[in-house]
A and B are shown apart, each in its own frame.
Chain A
Amino acid sequence: MALRTLLTRKNLANSPMGMLGLRGLQTFSLPDLPYDYGTLEPAISGDIMQLHHQKHHQAYITNYNKALEQLDDAVAKGDASAVVKLQSAIKFNGGGHVNHSIFWKNLAPIREGGGEPPKSSLGWAIDNHFGSLEVLIQKMNAEGAALQGSGWVWLGVDKEFKRLVVETTANQDPLVTKGPSLVPLLGIDVWEHAYYLQYKNVRPDYLKNIWKVINWKYASEVYEKECP
């Protein structure tokens, strides 16, 4: 017990993979953005990108790691009550980490392909399912604007039915909470922190503009992996 505790407590927060010991607890660290904070302007301000990444995403990671440690401890002790009590923190903070990690990859500066419409199989699937890219964007913007409170609007693929879906999730719930075979291709954060400094209460303007920096290349890669 003491030896396992020693191994899992070493280097917890400092490496991306954490400590993979005997029954190691893998913890997480903030992934770097593949672009500078200001390079998504004017669609999303550099101030927002920096706060969003360094404060909000970091906080989810910090709290997720903390909850994982407590969960590890409770599981080892057989404390079912504590295990169940921790699920809310795990879901919220783990979800926050999962969702934001996808989000950074969903965005790209214009000169790196941000905003360029999807081609090949994803482009074809979009036309097939929604009629056109414009219709898809309209639908996602409508659902994103109508979302009550905090949450995300997603373009996903149902890997079982090979069908594209538009879904929303509340708070930091990942897309998979809406269906176990759903794989996220694009997620748009509609929490107020994602746009308020720049767009204030006008969430629809944020949604209209974010498409100028959406990284369809990434979405296509994920789609082609699920539907070769």
Chain B
Amino acid sequence: MHLHHQKHHQTYITNYNKALEQLDDAMTKGDASTVVKLQSAIKFNGGGHVNHSIFWKNLAPIHEGGGEPPKGSLGWAIDNNFGSLEALIQKMNAEGAALQGSGWVWLGVDKELNRLIVETTGNQDPLVTKGPSLVPLLGIDVWEHAYYLQYKNVRPDYLKNIWKVMNWKYASEVYEKEFPES
């Protein structure tokens, strides 16, 4: 957690800020070539900042509700879309384990169709790159830095255990904001 937060996330922020400054400069100068060239650094580092900011809110200590299953409308929507919470977890773990290289596995809601989805993204691509109406509820970082010191190559064990500290309260809040209960 310490390394992930203070080194990895901090680096994305540092490099995102640097890229934003260079972008500002290039835009002021009307330098379209540089503006386009900077998009890779913006996407990667900006995405890294966006994704990790969500990730920290997705986790909570057990004595603060981490691991407690979702209730209310999100719990109901999960049963409706996936059959059960267990089925959803199984699906996310399978897709997370199968992800080639670095990336994230997401539980999201399509705010247009009011439908829950499970998606993966590569590297630091945010969920919105898979669909403009997708809103992330939960993201699990499956980059090796997220688990290697503890779980080594056994990513499936990391995925199995992370649910014990999943902060479903936050996910429910985001879901209810998109679909307020009347």
Contact = CB atoms under 8 A, between A and B. Distances in A.
B145 interface: yes
A150 B102 CA distance: 6
B7 A197 contact: no
Contact of B145 (A56, A172, A201): A201
Contact of A196 (B11, B100, B101, B149): B149
Interface string A88-119: 10001000000000000000000000000000
Interface string B95-117: 00000111100000000000000
Interface string A46-90: 000001000110010000000000000000000000000000100
Interface residues of A, number: 20
Contacts of B8: 201
A10 interface: no
Interface string A192-216: 1100110011000000000000000
Nearest to A201: B7
Nearest to B11: A201
Interface in B1-34: 3, 7-8, 11
Given A92-B100, A149-B102, A193 B40 contact: no
Contact of A171 (B101, B148, B153): B101
A197 to B, nearest CB: 7
A192 B153 contact: no
Chain B interface residue number, banded = 20 to 34
A121 interface: no
A143 to B, nearest CB: 13
B44 interface: yes
A88 B122 CA distance: 14
B151 to A, nearest CB: 11
B54 to A, nearest CB: 18
Contacts, number: 52
B18 to A, nearest CB: 13
B8 to A, nearest CB: 6
A165 interface: no
A196 B153 contact: no
Given A150-B102, A201-B11, A51 B153 contact: yes
User: Which of A56, A148, A170, A172 has its CB near the most chain B CB atoms (within 10 A)?
Assistant: A148
Nearest to A194: B144
A200 B3 contact: yes
Given A192-B148, A193-B148, A171 B3 contact: no
Interface in A135-182: 148-151, 170-172
Interface in B138-162: 143-145, 148-149, 152-153
A172 B148 contact: no
B40 A170 contact: no
A55 B157 CA distance: 15
Contacts of A196: 144-145, 148-149
Given A149-B101, A171-B100, A201 B3 contact: yes
A196 B101 CA distance: 15
A191 interface: yes
Interface in A6-31: none
A103 to B, nearest CB: 16
15 contacts: A56-B153, A88-B100, A92-B100, A148-B44, A149-B102, A151-B101, A170-B101, A172-B101, A191-B144, A192-B144, A193-B144, A196-B149, A197-B149, A197-B152, A201-B3
Given A172-B100, A197-B152, A201-B145, 7 more contacts: A148-B44, A150-B102, A150-B144, A192-B102, A192-B144, A193-B144, A200-B7
Interface of A: 51, 55-56, 59, 88, 92, 148-151, 170-172, 191-193, 196-197, 200-201
For the complex of A and B, 6 pairs with smallest distance between CB atoms: A192-B144, A149-B123, A171-B101, A149-B102, A150-B101, A55-B153
